[in-house]
Structure 1
Amino acid sequence: MRLRPVALLATLTLSSLLLAGCAGTPEGKASPEPTSSSECLVDAKPGAGSDAIKVTGEGVDAKVEVPKGTKFEGVERTILKKGSGDDVHAGDLIAIRYQVIEADTNKVVETSERGVDGVLPMLLDPSNAQNPQIVDSTQSPVFIAAAECAPVGSDIVLALPGQDDQGAVVVYMQTLEELPTTASGKAVDAPADMATVKLAKDGEPAISIPGGEKPTETVVGLLKQGDGPKVAAGDLVTVQYMGVKWSDGTSFDSSWSRDAMPTQFQTTGVVAGFRKALEGQQVGSQVLVEIPPADGYGAVDGNELQKETLVFVVDILGTTPLLAASAE
C-alpha cells in the first residue's frame, strides 16, 4: 500500500534523516549525535534541488512549485528568507505554518490549516520524534530538520528524496514566533479547599496537600485564565505539568524534572481525571486538578498509583486538532 506523503513523514526517524542528509559527505557517514541543544541535529544543507524550488506568496496560501525533473540528492534545505529571531533548537516551542507537497505533482497533501488561523505549535523534542506515540505530522522529525538552527521568522523549504515506492516530498515552512513554555494567562483567585500551589521564578510549581478528606470525585480549579483556543476532545496538547501523591505530597511525574521541557500527548491518551482537567480549557491557562483513583489508575491492577489520589498542576501551552492520516 502506498503511503501518503504525510504518513511517510511520520515514519522517518532522526537517524534516517542524519544518514540521508550526509549522503553527499565524505565516506557517507552520519555526524555524531549532538550533546547540546544548541547544536544542529540534522544540519541539512542547501542543494541544487532545494534551491530550484519556487515559492510564490507565503503561508498556507503560498504556491510551491518543484520544476519538472528536479532531483534531490539527499535531505536538502534552502532558507528562502532568513528571520530576525533567535535560532531554533531542540527543546524550543515555536509556532509554524507549513505545507507538504508531492514533488512530482506539486500537489499539496497537508497543511497547518487545521490549527488556529493556520498556525500550529511545534515542540522540537528529538526523543519524542524518534519514537512518535501519535502518527501526526507536528511531531515528525522532518519538521525538526526544517526548522532547526534557522532564526525564528524564516521561510524554509526542505526536500526529501523518494524512498521505496514513495515519491519525493517537499516541506515549505514558516517559523513565526517562539511560544512561552509556562502558562501565560492572567492569575485568578486560587480555588478554596484545594491543594495550594507556589510557583518558582522559572514557573515550576510546588504543591501542598490540604488537610481534610480526600476528594471522591475529580475536582478541577483554575489558577491562570488563558485567552487562547479551547482544548477539544482528542486534541494534541502541549503542556508542562507536575503530579504529586495526595498521601505524602511527593512528586511521581513531572515535565519539570526533564529540563523543564514541555511534553505533547493526545487528550484521549491520559487518565480520565487528567483529560477532564484539559478539555474545554483555553491555551495559556494553568489548571489544578485533584483526581481520585476511580479517574486515575484505580482500574490498573498492580500499578503503584492504583490506590493513590493524585494532584496535578498543568500549564496548557498549545492545542492542535488531529486528523487521521489515511492510506491511499
Structure 2
Amino acid sequence: MKLRTSAAAAALALAAALTLTACADDSGDGATPSASASSSPATEMPEPTKEDVAALESVKVEGDAGKEPKLSFKAPLEVSVPTSRVLDEGDGAEVAEGAQVTIDSVAYLGTDGTAQGSTWQQKAPMSFILGDANYGVLTEPLKGQKVGARLLVANPVQGQDGTTATMVNLVEITDTQKIPTRAEGEAVEPAEGLPTVTLDDAGKPSVEIPEGYEAPKELVTQTLIKGDGAKVTEDQTVTAQYTGWTLDGEQFDSSWDRGAPSSFSLQQVVAGWTQGLAGQTVGSQVLLVIPPDLAYGAQEGHELQKETLVFVVDILDAK
C-alpha cells in the first residue's frame, strides 16, 4: 500500500505491526479498507511458547506512563506467535470487545532493536473497534483491561520479500467508548436511477444495480441517512461499517461479515473514499459509486483495476 505522506507511512507501519497478519501490501496509492482487511472474522490466537514468553520478559522499558517509552532488548528478539505481557494495570473504564479503544503505541524491530514508529511522536493516537479483524492481535490482550494499562505485544510480521521479523510494541490504552453499530439519523430520498440499497434488521446493506445502469465517469455520492454528528474532514480517521460491490453486484468486501466496524485514515484510502466521505456527518449512511480512476485504476494488475466500485458506508465515528 503506497501512502501519500511520510507521516501516513509511519502511521501505517505502526498499524501493520499490530494487525493480525501484518503482511505488507504495495497495491497502489491509497486503498479501500479491503486492501488490508480479512474477509473473515479473526481466528483464535495460538498459545505462546515458554521461549516466546521469556523473550518478551527480557524487554526493558524506560519511561513513565503517558509519555513515549524507550524499549531495549538483546537483538535479535523473536517470537513464534503473538505474545503479550501486562506492564501496568489501568484504573479507568474497562475495555470491552465491540467498543472503540484508543491507544498510543511505539514499535521496535526485533531484528536489530531499532524504533519503527510512535504515535506519541506523530501526536496521533490510534482508534479502532476491539474485535476488528484488522487488529486481531490486540483483541485478547486488551479485552478486560482498563484505561491506563500498558502492555508489551510482540508479533511476527511477514514482509513483502517473504521473510518474517518480530515487531515489539508497547501499547498504552488512553480511552474507550461505546459507539453505535449502524447509521442513525434522518432518512434521505435518493436520486432516481441509482443502485437500490436495502437494509436487514441489523442494518447490514444489500444492493440492487438497476438494469442498464451505466458506469458513471465521476464520483457519485448519495447520502441515504443523515446523521446529526460533526462533519468529517479528510484528515480524520473514521470508524465505519461498510460493504463493497463491483458494478455487476458481486460483493468483494464487508466489515459486516467480519463482525466489527473498521477504522481507517481518510489519507490512506482511495480518492473516492476521501472525497465522498469528507463533508458527511457522523451517523450518516452514504452510497458511493466510484469510477476506476478514483479507485484502483492506476494500480496495474490489481484485480479491481478496471472496476467501478459501489459502497454503502455507515459513518459511526471520526477523530
Note whether the superposition's TM-score is higher than 0.5. Answer: yes
Q: Which residue of 1 aligns with 2:257?
A: 258
- Unaligned regions of 5+ residues in structure 1, if any? 17-34, 129-138, 321-328
Q: Is the 8 A contact 1:231 1:282 kept in 2?
A: no
Is the contact made by 2:14 and 2:118 (CA closer than 8 Å) also made in structure 1?
A: no
Determine the C-alpha separation between the residues in 2 that align with 1:270 and 1:149. Answer: 28
Alignment of 1:38-53 (within 5 A): none
Match of 1:153 among 135, 144, 147: 147
Provide the identity percentage.
Answer: 28
Name the counterpart of 2:28: none
CA contact (8 A) 2:246 2:252 kept: no
Deviations 1:81-126 (A, max 9, x none): 25653544xxx56321324288xx9x9962257577x463366555
Q: What are the within-5 Å matches in structure 2 for residues 197-212 of structure 1?
A: 197-209=197-209
8 Å Cα contact 1:77-1:158 kept in structure 2: yes
Counterpart of 1:242 in structure 2 is 243
Q: Which residue of 1 aligns with 2:35?
A: none
The Cα offsets for residues 200-242 of structure 1, whole Å up to 9 and x where unpaired, read as: 2222013344578646332212223362562426x66543222
Residues 1:94 and 1:300: Cα distance change in structure 2 (over 3 Å):
closer
Q: Could you tell me which amino acid in structure 1 is paired with residue 229 of structure 2? A: D
The alpha carbon displacement at 1:316 in A equals: 3.0
Find the aligned partners of 1:97 and 1:174 in 2 and give their Cα distance. Answer: 5
Q: CA deviation at 1:148?
A: 3.5
Number of matched pairs: 274
2:232 maps to which residue?
A: 230
One-letter amino acid of the structure 1 residue matched with residue 94 of structure 2:
G
Structure 1 residues 190 and 159, CA gap change in structure 2 (3 angstroms): same
1: CA distance, partners of 2:140 / 2:229? 29
Deviation (angstroms), 1:313: 0.7
In structure 2, the residue matched to 1:121 is 128
Tell me if structure 1 keeps the 8 A contact 2:255–2:262: no
Q: TM-score, normalised by structure 2?
A: 0.56
1:85 matched to 2:94? The reply is yes
Name the CA shift for 1:171/1:145 in 2 (closer, same or farther; >3 Å).
Answer: farther
Contact 1:186 1:224 in 2 (8 A): yes
Q: Distance in 2 between matches of 1:152 and 1:11?
A: 22
Counterpart of 1:225 in structure 2: which amino acid?
G
Q: Could you say what secondary structure the match of 2:234 adopts?
A: coil
Check conservation: 2:130, 2:139, Cα contact below 8 A.
Answer: no
Deviation at residue 144 of structure 1 after TM alignment: 1.6
- CA deviation after TM superposition for structure 1 residue 273, in Å: 3.6
8 A Cα contact 2:57 2:85, kept in partner: no
TM-superposed deviation, 1:255: 0.8
**SS of the counterpart of 1:258?**
helix
- Aligned counterparts, 1:62-81, within 5 A: 62=67, 77-78=85-86, 80-81=88-89
CA distance in 2 between counterparts of 1:302 and 1:36 reads 27
Larger radius of gyration: 1
Instruction: Tell me the C-alpha RMSD between the 2 structures.
Output: 5.7
Q: TM-score, normalised by structure 1?
A: 0.55
CA distance in 1, matches of 2:293, 2:72: 58
Q: Which runs of 5+ in 2 are unaligned?
A: 1-9, 23-39, 156-164
Q: Relative to 1, partners in 2 of residues 1:231 and 1:157: Cα closer, same or farther, differing over 3 Å?
A: same
Name the counterpart of 2:33.
Answer: none
Aligned residue number for residue 314 of structure 1 = 313
CA distance in 2, matches of 1:55, 1:302: 46
